Structures are given as C-alpha cells and as structure tokens.
Structure 1
Amino acid sequence: MDSFFSLFDPNNGNESPGSEDFDRQNALPPEPQVGNIEYKLKIVNPTKQRFDHLVTQLKWRLREGNGEAIYEIGVEDSGILTGLTANDMTASLQSLKQMALDLGATTTLLREKLLDNNRSVAEVLVRKIPDDQNNIEIRVAVLGNADAGKSTILGVLTQGIMDNGRGRARLNMFRHLHEIHSGRTSSISHEILGFNSEGQSINYNSSELITAEEICDSSTKLVTFLDLAGHKKYLRTTIQGLSGYSPHHAMLVISSAAGAVGMAHEHLAIAVALNVPFFIVITKIDLVDPANTLQNLESFIKQVGSRRVPLIIENIDDVITAGANQLTENVVPIFCVSSVSGQGLELLTRFLYVLPPGSSSKEKERLEQEPPEFYIDENFRAGHVGQILGGLLTKGVVTEGTLMRIGPMKDGSFQEVSVKSIHRNRVPCRMVRAGQSAAICLNIYIPNLRNGMVLVSREEKPSGSLFFQASISVLFHETAIYPGFQTTVHIGNIRQTVIVMAIFSSKCIHTNEQDSVMLKFKNQPEYVTVGQRILFRNGAGRGIGEITQVFPLKNVHD
C-alpha cells in the first residue's frame, strides 16, 4: 500500500518562519482585531469608566477564545515592545487580575521578559469557564507507529506514575485482553488529564482513590486524549477516530529508537488532509539520543506538504511560543521526553495547559442554536441499563428526556427514541452541547444498530441518502479514476464503500486533479450533509473532498 505522505507534493508550500515571540525580536505583529489576543501598554489606576470598558473588552476577548484570552502587557497596539517599569508592571498585572475577578475569571502569568531598556513585558493567560460548561475541554488525538510509546506516555500523563521500562504505565490504557498480550492498541480509548486554575495537573495520582468525576469537577481545563491504534492493520480504526471525533489537536508520537518510520508518515498525512493541527512528541530518549530523529524531522514534515517549520521545545518560553502558534499552522512543536526518567514531561504538560481550544465561543453558540446531530461511534448494551451510544454531538443541545430520531435504517428511515440518561467522561450529566463527546442511553433497544448512524432532532424528519455529489481532489492514483471506480470513503464516523457514478467535467480524474463527481453508497443509505469533509482510500487511490449536494430517499417517514 502506498503511504499517504507520498500523495502530497513536498514543494507545495515554502518554509514560513512562524510568528516570532518577544524573545527574538523587538516587536510583535500588530494587534489582531479579532481573536483572543489583546495588547495593553499599561493598566495603571484606571478610572471607573475606563475600568468598566476594559472589563467589557476582556469579556469579548474571552468569548473569542472560548474561555481563554492572552494579554500582552507592555506592548503597544502596533506590536512595539515598549515595556514597563517594575512598579507599572506590578500595577498593571494587579489591574488585570481585578478585571478578571469581576468576570469570575483567573489570571496566570505565563512569562515575563526584561528588555534592553530595563523595562519588562509580560504575557498573561486569562481563563473563565463558560457559564454553560463545567470546564474548558479540548480533544487531542494520539497518533504514531506501533511500539512508539503512545499508550505509555498517556499512562504516565494521566496516571501520574513513571513507567518502569517494561510497559507498566500503559496497562491501564488497554481495553481488551489481546491488547495486553500484544502491547498494541486496537481500539479507540479515552483518557483525561485535568488542570486547575493555577496550571497544576490533576490526574489519578493527585490524591488517593480519586475518580474521573472528581478530576472533572476539580479542573478548569480538561484534556481528553483519544488513544488511536498505531499498527497498519488497524488503520481504519485510526482514521475513524480522526474523522469521527473531530479532535482539536493531534499528538504524533515518534520513538527515538526507531525514528519517523512506518505508519507515522501515514498518520501525519491524514491529520494534514483533515486540517487537524498537530505537534510531535519524541519518546524513549533515555534509550537513544534523539539527535538523528530531530535532524530528519524537518524533511519528514515537508514530505506531507505541510507549510510548517519545526520548533524544538527546550524551555518554558518555547512552550508559550508554541501554544500561541499552534492554530496558525506555521510551527510544529517538538518535545523530547522519557516516560521512565520523566525528562521533558514538565514542558509537555505545560504545553497541554496552554493549548488553545479549537473554536471560538461565537461559533460554538451558533452550533448550539441548530437542531441536534449526534454521530454514533460506538454502541453496546449494558445489562439492565439498556442501549448505550457513544459519539460526538456536532450541533445543538441534548438533554435527558429529549425526543429524537435514530437512523438511517436499511430503507433510509429513522426510528423515534428518547434520551434516558447521559454520561460525559464517565460522569453522569443532564446535558451535552455541540462539540462535546458523550455516552447516551436510550429508552428502548434498537435492533441492527451500527456505528455510523446518527441521532437527530425529532422535528427534522431526516432521511438517509444513497446518492450524493462531492468535489474531490485525487491525491494519488496509479492511473486515473473513471466512472464505476469503487473505494472506501470516510465521512465523519461513516465508513462504507462508494461507487463513482459520474464525473462531471471530464472523463476521468488523474493524480493532483480535481472534479465534481456523483457517488453512491454501495451497501446502505447514510445520513450525510452538505459541507462534510470526505476522505477516501484503498490500494489504488487516495483523495479528499467535500460534499456539495445530497439526494435524500423519499417517502421513508412513518
């Protein structure tokens, strides 16, 4: 099978230097008008009117950052680093703290630097948990080759106990007996790491017999890791996790002993194709010096056409720079860690603390106003509890007792159900909102339930579709794609064979060409919507695209 990285032109993008931090230059870019970053030269003894205005401004920046804002103190709106005297800096930080308190937010001094003029500039993180949330949550998909140490590093981060060099830390990550025997993850598991308002990590070693519920309750920020399979035979499961769970970030784990080999290229290329921001963690540095692996990473990143440059994290200042640039797609943070000695883990943990949420509060609010759509990734029965669905709510809000429809069935129809109970991060809750993953218990048992189905609003009267139109780009094909071509397509958590029924602008599509095509699901109808990203792959071709039109089946409602 051709590897995914060979499908991207390595010369597509040139090196971009990335946003330099104030350690390396005398000015920042001009203050952005939108987003969660605010420049303030100083905030010393503001009048009440001025203070109220500053609080309103902070509230807006927090909304833009989904509960997080970055304040650059001692910086003019143009980005020039003027700096403040020690007294003015102390007063400004105190004023910012008081502004945050008025909104129920907290402040954390990320870094402070003395300039050549003996004045200083500071960077402050302001965090406020949105009123409708228990904490700020981000999802991080964990990728990498088999035996790279993914489950081990997750075990160390979430359990708070170092590995013994023989895989002790990873045992709690495995869900099946064969995974324990082989040491390889074959399914998607979820693990959590919390942080309090002071930036201290909260894991299962924080106190004796601490539970997942207590971690969630004690955390202002919660990182949910999706531990994905690394072996080639489980690639479909890995793609399903990346596509279906919509992670905010991807963590690519590479073994210092083996280097960037095997499925690491494939996983990184899929993350790039799905527009998932990523960072790299090099493990096992206690066994092998990572110098050779670091030397090869720049060319490795370019092989998937990524227009980013590597940033090796060596100190806390690098961590803050990397966090600020993580969503601008021009810097790839690289961490060197050991799960045995603990070297580098403090920097990685701090990076997870400052890692920005994926979408703005405004976008989140817009999605919550839409009719609910819950995409099913797992389903099972739990004794007398009933039918359990695991997945991601992409739109709307779902509460206990909500009447919904589930499907599509073989004929494209949907069946009416009621939400009996909801769990998030293994903790009971009454509500799940757009962008959150959850486990939902239904009031009745649904025969022939399968992953890839969806729960939607009862009022929507949804229908499955066999035919849909998409604009696709062929990343690689040995010859060309013609009508009649069959391939496996991934659309969110849907995985099914589709047939190319028609190509609209030409007779065929070659590598690096784009066209609009009519596709048909081969086995059964699915629920798809305009704008969804698609990814297709098999032994003969690779490509990405977007759905442009859907043709629902008719007369399927009861």
Structure 2
Amino acid sequence: MDRISVPQSDSAMASVSKKDSVSPKGSAVNGNVPTTKKTAEGLAGLYDSDEDDASGKDGGLDALFLVRNKPEEIERYVIHVRKMLLEGEGETVIEIGVPIDQGGKASGIPTKDLEVAVANHVKALASIPAIGTKIETRTNGAKSTEVWIVRDPPKEEDFIEVRVAVVGNVDAGKSTLLGVLTHSALDDGRGLARTKLFRHKHEFESGRTSSVGNDILGFDVHGTVVNKPDPHNNNLDWVQISRDCCKLITFIDLAGHEKYLKTTIFGMTGHMPDYTMLMVGANMGIIGTTKEHLSLALSLSVPVFIVVTKIDMCPPQILEETMKNIGRLVKSAGARKLPVMVRNTNDVIHAAVNFPSKRVCPIFQVSNVEGTNLDLLRQFLNIVPLRRTLCESDPAHFQIDDVYWVEGVGTVVSGTVLAGTIKVNDTLLLGPNSVGEFVPLPVKSIHRKRMPVSSVRCGQTASFALRKITKREVRKGMVMVDSRLNPISSMQFEAEILILHHPTTIKPNYQAMLHIGSIRQTATLVSMTKEVLRTGDRDRVTFRFIRLPEYIRPGTRMVFREGRTKAVGTVVNVIPQATLAQQRSKFKDKTNRTFVKRGGPKPPNGKPKVEAIKEHA
C-alpha cells in the first residue's frame, strides 16, 4: 500500500496510509487523527489521483480498458487526456492501471497486463499528439500501476511558466538554494552559490538580498533540467533555456531582512506568484520574519511549501525540534494545513498533484553542500501544475511592475498579463497618468525571458518596448488594457479588511502604505462602519489615495502596512474618479482666479502675455 507522511502529533512526523483519515479540510485537530467514515472520505478525496472525466454510456472506464484496447474506449481515453492537457495548460499527471470516473478504486492490474496497457497508452498519446514520461512504478503484491507525466509537444516561442516566490528569514539559505538549483552546482559551505545571483555591490559585501530578483530553472518535455551555465563566466543564457525548455520555473528571490519588508511585500503582490517556497534554516528554526512571510502568503491565498536547509550542519536534536515547531505552525489556527514530509518519489507525486488545492503543505529537508534531497525538490517543481485560470479570450490586461530605459530601444515596461492575449503592434491604453487619463500606445516589440516573441497570453510575464513615451511618464502600478474595458481611474475605493496586528486602535484619517497588485501608494482611511478597529477586527472601509489615481478592479487582494501595523483585505467596490472635464467645470464654478505666467514676446498692443492655468480639482 502506498504510504505518505502526515503529522500524528505536534511532536513527530509519522508515516500513515493513504486510507487513514484526516479532516476533510486537510488539517488534523489538536494533532489527533480522526477515524470517522466522513473524515476517511475526506482523505480519499484529498489524495485521489486526478483522473477526472472520461464518462460514457457505461459511466466510466475500468482499470483494464487499455488492455482490452477497444476503439471506442481508447477514443474516450484520448478525449479525457486532451481535456486534462487543456486544463493544465499543456501538462498533466496520469496513472495507468486505475479506473477513470468510476466510484470503485483499484490497487492496480497484473504486471503482464500493465505492459500491454502502457504500450496502448503510448499509442493513444501519439494520436493526440502528446509526449509522456514515466515517473514511477507502484507495486502492490501481484498488481502494479505506472505514473506518467504527459505534456504537449514543445512549441516555438512558448512554454509553461510557473512562478515561485522564495521567502524566509535572513540567512535561511534562499539565494544559496536558488544558485544550486539554477546552476546545477553544489555550494562550498561559504556562500559560493549565492554570489552567482547577487546584482548589487552591497549584496556581495553583506551577503544579503535587498532587491527582487528573478532566476529561472527549465525542464524539457521529459523533465530533464536544461540549465547549462557558461563554462567561462558561469552565466546562464536565458534565451537558450527558454528555447530548450517545455516548462520554466521562475523563482522570485525576495529579501529576508525586516528592513526590506516593503520590497518583499511588493514582490508577493506585484509579481503574482503561483506558489510560495518558505525557507527555514534547520539550525535556526522559525525566527525573525518567517512567520510574517508565511502569514503574508496565506493572506494572499498563495499555496506554501517549506524547504528546511542546512541539515548537513545541524545536530539531530536541533533538527527534530525545528521539525516539531514547523508542524505546530503549519497546523495552527491561522494556517490549518496538513504538513506532508517528502521522502521519496511517491510522496513527491501525491504532494504535487494535491498541492494547488491549498490543503497540504509539502516539507523538504535539503542540503546545498551535500545535495541531499535536491533531486526530490527538482521532481516536485517539474510535476507541480499551474494554478491559474485561463482567460485568453478576455480583453487584454497587462500589469506593470517595473520600468526601464534601454539604449537604442527606448522605454521598456515589464509585468504580468492578467487577461487576454497581446501581440506585437497591438495598441493598448496606458494609464492612469497623474490626471487619471489613459493614453493609446502601440507595442513595438515583446520579450519573454529575454527571448523575442510575437505574442503573450494571460498568466505569462513579459517586457514591452513602447513608442512615443518617455520613462518618466510611466511608473510601477500602471496598466496597459484593451480599449474594450473602458478603463476608469480611481482615487477612492471600498474594501473589506482584517487587522492582523495593530498596537493600539485605528480611526478615520489613519494613513498606511497600500499594496494592491503592483500598486504601492499611501492612502488615507476615509470612513469605516465601526468607531475603532483593533487587532483581529473585520470591517468595510473606504480608502483614498493621497497622490495619484490608480486603476483597480473589484476582487483584487490587498495588503496595507504602517510600522508594526499589518492588515489584509479585498477590494469590493471602486469609486470612479471624476473626469478631467468635470473637474475643470467644477473648478470654474467655484473660482475665477487667473494665474499669470510671465515671459515670452509681448503682443503688439504692448500688454504682457497672460496665460490662464487652471487647477485640477
């Protein structure tokens, strides 16, 4: 019987069967594992394979349908695989030897039949077409199953992209692990691997990341790492990796030090990660910003997996204590997740398939010096599916998270496509500017991971070269949208918030820094339904930006902070800003003052030139 690790108590991680029961919500209450029929069904739903829907007149396909090789059953199987590939944006995990869309469960099929089933499975994939790679063979007595990862054939200028935010306390080994994973070379124990990722002089001097960095790890269609550093300067060729890979993991390397917390929050909100990798040093445990980073990921509804580093230098008793504390933290009331220790390939498959549901929290123990369990972490990243919902047919919406000036090219903006498809020479509305207007601009060229492409679609990150605009006219937080959206800027909006921590009370006119996507601006709390707000309170409030109008959509998650104050919420209503014409009309009704701008040639009548400058409301 397949076995996977789950917590039995706060003091230990134990191995239990897939059929042992946990809460249907994926958390063990008070460390005890309930044994009721209802919770047993909850665990079965948690760990079942993702065979989903190949139903026909007889209600499904049994475990031996690939052995019988009937044309009508194979055709339904092909339809099922195509559907799963479409839902997974080009990849899915399939187990051969189990029924599809049937109530009963099977432990496998005889080994001799499995060989026939695999051969027919390969033929079915060729007709799609798709490419499959075997991950693991599972044996239960005289019966067996095989787990395969199936992907669409590689496409030119296109690959599956999964974004992973890397967080954790300072000195937890974040940059070191990324250096080892992306450059396929172990660390020397003195920080060699992390120096390959630093970008600023003070980072080399202090050994601490202070900016949002991006690093990539590519897998080909068979799951083999394609990163090949240059033997001379040890740099990675992003263009070559993008061309060779079928799946690309983008690591968003964030700062661990508390003084860079605003940069970390911007990376979590502005770069739209699919998953969060929380790093914990085995020798240090849960200290510093670890809990704060975990709460940030949970508040943004981003699934979290934990990597415990430095196990080669940590005494066994300290490592055991660290694992106990991690188990308590993950099962606490604020997280309510099921910690799963990953020790083998079988654990990797179960954790990766069920990870997007946000019920489980996989935990890895690795060593960057000895290479312990790094292969399991790579397998997990290779298998873990996308978590995004496809919306390619919607009007285009691009969120800007950085702006550059490139010599010979001009203004370049980078960000994430939140909806639709954007092609070269498309004209989009850029804004809002300082007065809340949107300006039509053509997209001159598109780069994805430094590789020129002709188009990008929703969920992908890219950089656009823009025409007829300077760098100072563009800022982080602006958007480029399709004109069909009729975008309207806003200075005020309503949100439902939860106060995570505040030392005293919050009243109207309170100001804090808001993070909404890539927007980062101070806002004033204009009104609220309660008289005061304290730690743990929820309320519907109205915010007003103090500087510039922004483009906000209802339903967007937000974070606001000020000193030790931390709160999260969701935008529920946007109050449109008055148009510029309305502002001018409103100002004209209130005052007839005229401002004089002196200078320039005088008119023929000898009177000074007067230019009326109207203020914005």
Whether these two folds match at TM > 0.5 is: yes
Q: SS of 1:371's equivalent?
A: coil
After superposition, the C-alpha distances for 1:332-373 in whole angstroms (9 at most, x for unaligned) are: 1111111111111111111111111112xxx31xx2222212
Within-5 A mapping of 1:113-512: 113-116=138-141, 118-128=142-152, 134-205=158-229, 211-289=237-315, 290-303=319-332, 305-359=334-388, 363-364=389-390, 367-446=391-470, 447-504=472-529, 506-512=530-536
* 2:90 is the counterpart of 1:64: no
- How many residues end up aligned between the 2 structures? 536
Q: What is the distance in 1 between the residues matched to 2:516 and 2:46?
A: 43
Q: Give, in whole Å, the separation in 1 of the partners of 2:114 and 2:461.
A: 41
CA distance in 2, matches of 1:81, 1:179: 55
Question: Which whole-Å deviations, capped at 9, do the CAs of 1:74-109 have from their partners, x for residues lacking one?
Answer: 324225224211121111112222221212212222
Secondary structure in 2 aligned to 1:201? Answer: coil
What is the SS of the residue equivalent to 2:109? coil
Q: Which amino acid aligns with 1:230?
A: G
Q: Letter of the 2:528 partner, please give it.
A: I
Which residue identity does 1:15 align to in structure 2?
Answer: A
What 5-or-longer segments of structure 2 have no aligned partner?
1-24, 55-59, 583-617
One-letter code of the match for 2:94? Answer: Y
Q: Which residue identity does 2:488 align to in structure 1?
A: S
Matches of 1:409 and 1:382, distance apart in 2: 22
Residue 106 (structure 2) pairs with residue 81 (structure 1): yes
Deviation at 1:408, TM superposition (A): 1.4
- The one of the two structures with greater contact order (alpha-carbon pairs below 8 A, sep at least 6) is 1
The 8 Å contact of residues 256 and 288 in structure 1, kept in 2 or not, is answered as yes
Aligned to 2:273, the other structure's residue is in SS state coil
CA distance in 1, matches of 2:236, 2:486: 44
Give the C-alpha shift of residue 493 in structure 1.
0.8
Deviations 1:25-54 (A, max 9, x none): 99965977579xx98512114232332222
Give matches, 1:522-537, under 5 Å.
Answer: 522-537=546-561
Quick one: distance in 1 between partners of 2:486 and 2:357? 39
Please give the alpha-carbon distance, in whole angstroms, between the structure 2 residues aligned to 1:34 and 1:509: 48
Q: Larger deviation: 223-232 or 397-406?
A: 397-406
Give the whole-Å Cα distance in 1 for the aligned partners of 2:61 and 2:323: 35
Q: Is the 8 A contact 2:560 2:568 kept in 1?
A: yes
Letter in 1 for 2:28: E
**Shift in CA distance, 513/294, structure 1 to aligned 2, threshold 3 Å:** same
Tell me how far apart the structure 2 counterparts of residues 156 and 306 of structure 1 sit (CA, whole Å). Answer: 30
Q: Distance in 2 between matches of 1:134 and 1:176?
A: 31
- Residue in structure 1 matching 2:116, options 75, 91, 102: 91
- Amino acid in structure 2 at the alignment position of 1:167: G
| CA offset digits 1:525-547 (Å, max 9, x no partner) | 11111111111122353222111
Work out the CA distance in 2 between the residues paired with 1:199 and 1:546.
38
Structure 1: distance between partners of 2:379 and 2:340: 16
State the alpha-carbon separation in 2 of the partners of residues 276 and 448 from structure 1.
Answer: 32
Contact 2:49 2:95 in 1 (8 A): no
- Name the CA distance, whole Å, in 1 between partners of 2:45 and 2:509: 59
Equivalents in 1 of 2:292, 2:263: separation in Å?
A: 13
User: Where do 5+ consecutive residues of structure 1 fail to align?
Assistant: 1-11
Indicate if the aligned counterparts of 1:461 and 1:557 stay in contact, CA closer than 8 A: no
Q: Distance in 1 between matches of 2:161 and 2:243?
A: 12
Quickly say closer, same or farther: Cα 1:129–1:484, change in 2 above 3 A.
farther
Q: One-letter code of the match for 2:374? A: L
Query: Which of these residues, 59, 63, 67, is aligned with residue 44 of structure 1?
Result: 67
CA distance in 2, matches of 1:26, 1:62: 21
TM-score (norm 2): 0.81
Q: Contact 1:269 / 1:304 at 8 angstroms: preserved in 2?
A: no
CA contact (8 A) 2:47 2:350 kept: no
* Contact residue 372 and residue 395 of structure 1 kept, 8 A: yes
Q: Which amino acid in structure 2 is aligned with residue 275 of structure 1?
A: S
What SS does the corresponding residue of 1:243 show, helix, strand or coil?
helix
- The answer to whether the 8 Å contact 1:41/1:82 transfers is no
1:474-525, CA deviations, whole angstroms, 9 ceiling, x for partnerless residues? 2233343322221111100111111111113x33333333222111111211
Aligned residues with identical type, % of pairs = 36
What is the aligned-residue RMSD (CA, Å)? Answer: 2.9
Deviates more, 1:247-256 or 1:443-452: 443-452
CA distance in 2, matches of 1:84, 1:26: 22
Q: Distance in 2 between matches of 1:355 and 1:293?
A: 26
1:72 maps to amino acid:
E
In structure 2, the partner of 1:8 is none
The amino acid of 2:284's aligned partner reads A
Structure number with bigger Rg: 2
**Quick one: structure 1 residues 491 and 129, their matched pair in 2 at CA, closer, same or farther if it must change by over 3 Å?**
farther
Q: Secondary structure at the match of 2:348?
A: helix
C-alpha deviations, 1:173-201, integer Å up to 9, x for none? Answer: 11212111111111111111111122211
- Structure 2 counterpart of 1:268, which letter? L
1:288–1:151 Cα change, 3 Å: same
For residues 271 and 297 of structure 2, what CA distance do their matches in structure 1 show? 12
Distance in 1 between the 2:542 and 2:154 partners? Answer: 42
Q: CA 1:463/1:111 → structure 2, altered by over 3 Å: closer, same or farther?
A: same
**Letter of the structure 1 residue corresponding to residue 250 of structure 2:** T
**CA distance in 2 between partners of 1:293 and 1:106 (Å):** 41
- What amino acid is the match of 1:331? V
- Do 2:229 and 2:237's aligned partners in 1 also have CA atoms closer than 8 Å? no
Maintained 8 Å contact 2:131/2:153: no
1:3 aligned partner = none
